[in-house]
Amino acid sequence: MDFSQIFTYMYAEIALIAVIVTVFLYDLISGKRGRRFFHPVMCVLMTAFIAATIVPYHDGTGETFGGMFVYTPVFNILKGILAVGTLIVFLQADSWLRRDDTEFKRGEFYVLTLSTLLGMYFMISAGHFLMFFLGMELASVPMACLVAFDKYKNNSAEAGAKYILSALFASGLMLFGISFFYGTCGTLYFNDMTAHIDGSPLQIMAMVFFFSGLGFKISLVPFHLWTADTYQGAPTSVTSYLSVISKGAAAFALMVILMKVFAPMVHDWQLMLWIVIVLSITVANLFALRQKDLKRFLAFSSISQAGYIMLAVISGSAIGMTSLIFYILVYMAANLAAFGVIGTVEQNSGGKVGMDDYNGFYRTNPKLAVVMMLALFSLAGIPPFAGFFSKFFIFAAAFEQGFHILVFIALINTVISLYYYLLVVKAMFINRNDSPIAAFRSDCSTRIGLLVCLAGVLVLGIVSSVYDCINMFSFGM
């Protein structure tokens, strides 16, 4: 076996493993005094990592480990986006990690988060179902530890139990599906499987099992029941990581598998996705209307956003792939901004996350209120902001493939979603409150994180070169 190939194609993964080992060793030997500089060290490391890996380091596609690991430039773009999102989460998590009860666990937080990121990297560039499964589990097992990170809080433990049990159940279902694919195809390499896939009833059943396993990860509607509880109970920084990075990676991996492996069964999975999309968007919107807790509210909003992401998957075209990555990028900016505001308010106000607590928020903290408003506008898809363009591209991709009714239903749901996003804006700007959240100054690192997200919300849609750049690479897929 030629080992030089491993370094050519797995460069990003190896760099990430190096970062993980460095962080682990730093946590081990730095001691109490060195740990004070952990946050700057971590940010520098992550920035260096992103700078070294975000530009596709190799033209064209390639395989290593006998086809288990696949490299294409478009995978690399998505991995870079996920790494940037992780850096933003780290920036926003700093004030939470400074608390006495989490200070000594800072290193664990970084190592666990980066391990899940590594798992997602492997999941995205898998070329074999075993690799895919290992990546998915590497992404979800440390995630359960992160969800239960606030060990003395009841809610966090409850959320962790709900997450790990549903994740186990989901991987059981997924493996059951994969086992029947093995029985009918005789191989689990993505490239070789396509020739054996003929849409027999057994394979359709296997695909449904496989899809339900992955649907748990993306939290689509029949499989979404863990989402709201886990999002509410988990620490806010973990929730933002879970809602954006993990969801985006799983959605992209699903699209790659559906397009690459299940291409002969395209009508079957399009029908299945059609039903799931309509359910996800509608049910999640209806539930989001009645939420009083902002984290829970954003959980339902993220379920409906997952439905929109699936609109890009159902198109199954190169344009769909581009708009999927663009949507993940824009969604990341908007959602991380919203969770960043919620997180910093929670830290500085003694744990207030209810929607009523935000009444009169604009009078005391005008800047944060404006950031939150812009993020929610982007999530809802109001024109000058990035969210409008990402939604537009996704609808265009699905419409082009002939899903007219589906796009129509999604459009109606955008209007419904506008209502509940504006409820929060109304609470912040119009509702009166005798004892609003007191004015506070968030720390420097949170502000940098919020500024990056805000720049993303404002700029990404207008600067079309971002979309063109992704588009250029995704046609090489």
Partner 1 sequence: MIPMEYYLIVSTIMMFVGIYGFFTRRNLLAMLISVELMLNSVDINFVVFNRFLFPGQLEGFFFTMFAIGISAAETAVAIAIIINIYRNVRNIQVKNLKNMKW
Interface residues with partner 1 (CB under 8 A) are: 129-130, 133-134, 137, 141, 144-145, 148, 151-152, 154-155, 157-162, 164-165, 167-169, 171-173, 175-176, 178-180, 182-183, 186-188, 228-229, 232-233, 287, 296
Residue with Cβ nearer partner 1 (130 or 444): 130
- How many CB atoms are located within 10 Å of the residue 389 CB? 23
Give min distance, CB of 294 to partner 1, in A.
Answer: 14
| Closest approach of partner 1 to the CB of residue 146, in Å | 11
- For partner 1, which is the closer residue by CB, 227 or 344? 227
CB of 158 to partner 1, least distance (A): 5
Nearest approach in angstroms of CB 152 to partner 1 is 7
Nearer to partner 1, 212 or 413 (CB): 212
In the complex, the smallest distance separating the C-beta of residue 417 from partner 1, rounded to whole angstroms, is 19
Q: Please state, in angstroms and rounded to a whole number, the distance separating the CA atoms of residues 83 and 62.
A: 22
Of the two residues 292 and 441, which places its CB atom closer to partner 1 in the complex?
292
CB of 239 to partner 1, least distance (A): 13
Judged by beta carbon, residue 165 or residue 415, the one nearer partner 1 is: 165
Q: How far is the CB of 159 from partner 1 (least distance, A)?
A: 7
Beta carbon nearer to partner 1, 164 or 244: 164
Cβ closest to partner 1, residue 183 vs residue 476: 183
CB of 156 to partner 1, least distance (A): 9
Closest to partner 1 by CB, 24 or 176: 176
CB closer to partner 1, 60 vs 201: 201
Choose between 212 and 471: whose C-beta lies nearer to partner 1: 212
* CB of residue 186 to partner 1, shortest distance in Å: 5
- Are 175 and 167 contacting, i.e. CB atoms less than 8 angstroms apart? no
Q: Which long-range contacts (CB under 8 A, 24 or more apart) does 27-35 make?
A: 27/106, 27/107, 27/108, 27/110, 27/111, 28/107, 35/103, 35/104, 35/106, 35/107
Report the residue number, 234 or 453, with the smaller CB distance to partner 1.
Answer: 234
CB 214 to partner 1: min, Å: 16
Q: C-beta of 207: minimal distance to partner 1 in Å?
A: 16
End-to-end CA, the chain: 25
